[in-house]
């Protein structure tokens, strides 16, 4: 029996060498599922050996955390120093950043933590170059800032490295529900027309994961990879933007050629050394994080418009409560909302209510409890 690593390599090779078409769809789908199962096993073993995490637990702070991801020597540390005033070690050789250095960036009242990490090398997902530790930190950030330069332009390789570690860039969880059962075989149903997972492919993939009974509901025309993501279960979906550093070394035509090749990403060209493009990059980071500002309105009084509470798009009343003194969260009864998220001014809502930028909010606490804060 060949080793786990060899089995993985064999399947990777077979997938690479198999032309993907209608006739091979089923076969390739099964191979991908097998590969995912083997990679999960590899993760499990690495975990059991204790290889990972230790010393890499980064205390997150600020309103959001951004991870700088790139090959060694593209200028990640120089960039961190240029935009935050952190002191990250800079060297003209690879692997200079052996630990993760945080810096803090201010953007329209929000504090953004930026993490400078060791450069990713090919094979990082397998644990090369402390890759596993770096990738585990990347999983926890709110935004990835990819950085490449003139000599390290293999952006796809970088993205693949994250993909192999279960990190999905600029995606969202697939609309697929898999429910294992005790008997009855595997049934697949869908609410839309299915093109990628038709002809029993979905059921085959589910079986590769050891599920022989249960239901699969496809609420979108999902691909084999998406179904595998749902079955593997340890995927994270992270937003990302891309910067091209050392653009002081690039000619106009070189920039245009790079731009064309990097589509659909729209890179921001910067030079961390000469500080060109810094404002534009900071803006791109701030925009991508989608901050919203809400204001507290004490009962019967005007809101304090000087002191916004900074949240992110998609945050709910419960996320706001986490930013307030704990007793307010404990005594919370309901909230009154004025603004874009309210159906009418002063609407009463619960913890689940989705907030919008510029909302005014009054927290109503339970009768008998004393107001906190
Ligand atoms: N020409 C040029 N060199 C840069 C720039 N940014 C960084 N460097 C140089 O690239 C080398 C590697 O930088 P470093 O920040 O240590 O890269 P890291 O390994 O990605 O953290 C150093 O010699 C830097 O001075 C830039 O914008 N232009
Ligand atoms: Mg560095």
Query: In degrees rounded to 5, what are phi and psi of residue 223?
Result: -95, 170
Residues 6+ apart with CB under 8 A from 157: 122
* Probe residue for ligand 1, chosen from 72, 75, 280 as the CB with the greatest number of ligand atoms within 8 Å: 75
183/297 same-domain check: no
59 belongs to a structural domain:
no
280/319 same-domain check: no
Give the rounded distance of the alpha carbon of 331 from its chain centre.
Answer: 33
Cα 83 to middle of ligand 2, angstroms: 14
Give me the pLDDT at residue 288, please.
97
Give me the pLDDT at residue 164, please.
87
210 belongs to a structural domain:
yes
284/295 same-domain check: no
Give me the pLDDT at residue 53, please.
44
Alpha-carbon gap, residue 307 to 318, rounded angstroms: 19
Atom of ligand 1 nearest to the CA of 274: 27
167/88 same-domain check: yes
Nearest CA to ligand 1 atom 19: 73
Q: What is the pLDDT of residues 307-323, one digit of tens each?
A: 899 999 999 999 999 99
295/285 same-domain check: no
99/163 same-domain check: yes
73/161 same-domain check: yes
If you compute the radius of gyration of the chain from its CA atoms, what whole number of angstroms results?
Answer: 24
Q: Average of pLDDT values for 188-195?
A: 94
269/183 same-domain check: no
Q: What is the pLDDT of residues 26-50, one digit of tens each?
A: 999 999 999 999 999 988 887 777 6
Give the mean pLDDT of the chain. 89
161/248 same-domain check: yes
Give me the pLDDT at residue 211, please.
95
The CB of 75 under 6 Å from ligand 1? The reply is: yes
Q: In Å, what is the CA distance from 235 to each residue of 113, 128, 131, 335? A: 23, 20, 17, 34
373 belongs to a structural domain:
no
Cα 289 to middle of ligand 1, angstroms: 26
Nearest CA to ligand 1 atom 12: 73
CA-based end-to-end distance of the chain: 64
Alpha-carbon gap, residue 336 to 360, rounded angstroms: 8
* Count of domains for the chain: 3
Of 48-52, 75-79, 278-282, least confident by mean pLDDT is 48-52
The ligand minimizing its distance to the Cα of 100 is 2
Select the more confidently predicted residue: 61 or 96.
61
Give me the pLDDT at residue 373, please.
44
344/197 same-domain check: no
113 belongs to a structural domain:
yes
Q: Average of pLDDT values for 227-254?
A: 96
46 belongs to a structural domain:
yes
Q: How confident is the model at residue 93 (pLDDT cuts 50, 70, 90)?
A: low
154/254 same-domain check: yes
Atom of ligand 1 nearest to the CA of 116: 21
Q: Residue 188 is part of which domain span?
A: 4-50+174-232
Instruction: Using the 3D structure, point to which of 209, 232, 255 is the last residue of a domain.
Output: 232
55 belongs to a structural domain:
no
- Per-residue pLDDT at 54 exceeds 80: no
CATH of the domain at 133: 3.40.50.300
Q: What percent of the chain has pLDDT over 90?
A: 71
* Probe residue for ligand 1, chosen from 68, 71, 72, 73 as the CB with the greatest number of ligand atoms within 8 Å: 73
Q: How confident is the model at residue 306 (pLDDT cuts 50, 70, 90)?
A: confident
* Ion ligand 2 residue ranges (Cβ < 5 Å): 76-77, 96-97
Of 109-123, 150-164, 227-241, least confident by mean pLDDT is 109-123
Of 79-93, 241-255, 274-288, least confident by mean pLDDT is 79-93
Give me the pLDDT at residue 52, please.
47
140 belongs to a structural domain:
yes
Select the more confidently predicted residue: 242 or 368.
242
222/262 same-domain check: no
57 belongs to a structural domain:
no
């Amino acid at each position: 029996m060949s080793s786990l690593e060899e089995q993985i390599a064999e399947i990777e090779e077979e997938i690479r060498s198999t032309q993907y078409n209608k006739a091979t769809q089923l076969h390739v789908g099964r191979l991908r599922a097998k590969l995912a199962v083997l990679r999960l096993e590899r993760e499990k073993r690495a975990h059991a050996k204790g290889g990972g995490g230790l010393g890499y637990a980064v205390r997150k702070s600020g309103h959001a955390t951004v991870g700088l991801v790139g090959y060694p020597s593209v200028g990640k540390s120089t960039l961190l120093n240029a935009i935050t005033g952190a002191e990250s070690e800079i060297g003209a050789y690879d692997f200079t950043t052996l630990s993760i250095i945080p810096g803090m960036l201010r953007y329209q009242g929000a504090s953004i933590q930026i993490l400078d990490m060791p450069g990713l090398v090919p094979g990082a997902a397998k644990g090369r170059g402390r890759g596993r530790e770096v990738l585990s930190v990347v999983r926890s950030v709110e935004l990835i800032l990819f950085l490449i330069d003139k000599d390290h332009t293999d952006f796809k390789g970088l993205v693949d490295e994250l993909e192999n570690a279960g990190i999905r860039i600029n995606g969202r969880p697939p609309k697929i529900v898999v429910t294992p059962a005790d008997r009855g075989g595997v049934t697949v149903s869908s609410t839309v027309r299915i093109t990628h997972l038709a002809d029993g492919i979905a059921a085959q993939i589910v079986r590769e994961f050891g599920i022989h009974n249960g239901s699969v509901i496809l609420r979108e025309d999902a691909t084999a990879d998406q179904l595998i993501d749902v079955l593997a279960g340890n995927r994270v979906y992270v937003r990302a933007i891309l910067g091209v550093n050392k653009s002081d070394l690039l000619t106009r035509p070189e920039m245009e050629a790079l731009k064309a090749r990097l589509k659909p990403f729209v890179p921001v060209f910067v030079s961390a050394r000469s500080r060109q493009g810094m404002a534009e990059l900071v803006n791109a980071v701030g925009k991508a994080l989608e901050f919203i500002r809400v204001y507290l309105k004490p009962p019967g009084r005007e809101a304090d418009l000087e002191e916004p509470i900074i949240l992110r798009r998609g945050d709910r009343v419960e996320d706001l409560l986490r930013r307030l003194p704990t007793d307010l969260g404990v005594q919370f009864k309901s909230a009154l909302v004025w603004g874009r998220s309210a159906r009418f001014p002063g609407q009463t809502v619960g913890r689940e209510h989705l907030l919008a930028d510029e909302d005014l909010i009054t927290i109503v606490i339970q009768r008998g409890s004393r107001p906190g804060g």
